[in-house]
Amino acid sequence: MSKVGELLAKGEEATATGTAAYQARAVANELMSVVEAQQSSIEDGRRVAIALAGQPDFDVRDIGYSGGALVVFRGTDRNGDPAWVIQHYSQVNVRISHVSAKPEGLPRPIGFLGNVANPPKGAA
């Protein structure tokens, strides 16, 4: 079982016992660990992409969490407009792949938002 799968399994146990306070943060952190590992081994001219199940036209640019239960993905829709997808930590289903970098410049790595429920002052 993958580390993310293990975290989700633990999350289901924690939810059953009422101790799920930090599961979204744990899942978001583990996703970022996987993304960072992929980014460190990627070929020139390519970037790491995350596709969310049920959201094929959403380009994930940042991962965060809100409270103990919600994992937050910030990115853009097919028109390039800013968009957010918010999922319960037990419902997160992603595909991580390497895709061609867009020609307009160097690929921007996927970032980590941290806790979006308590953003730092001045954060948009």
The DSSP annotation for 4-73 comes to HHHHHHHHHHHHHHT--TTHHHHHHHHHHHHHHHHHHTPPTTEEEEEEETTBTT-EEEEEEEETTTEEEE
Domain that holds residue 19: 3-114
pLDDT at 118: 61
CA-CA distance, 114 to 105, in Å (whole number)?
A: 26
Q: What would the pLDDT profile of 50-75 be if each residue is shown by its tens digit?
A: 888 888 888 888 999 988 899 999 99
0.85 surpassed by pTM: no
Instruction: List helix spans (H) across 18-97.
Output: 23-40
CA-CA distance, 53 to 30, in Å (whole number)?
A: 18
pLDDT at 9: 55
Give me the residues of the chain with pLDDT under 50, please.
16-18, 106, 120-124
pLDDT at 85: 93
Cβ contact 62:73 at 8 Å: yes
Number of domains in the chain: 1
pLDDT at 13: 52
* 120 in any annotated domain: no
* 123 in any annotated domain: no
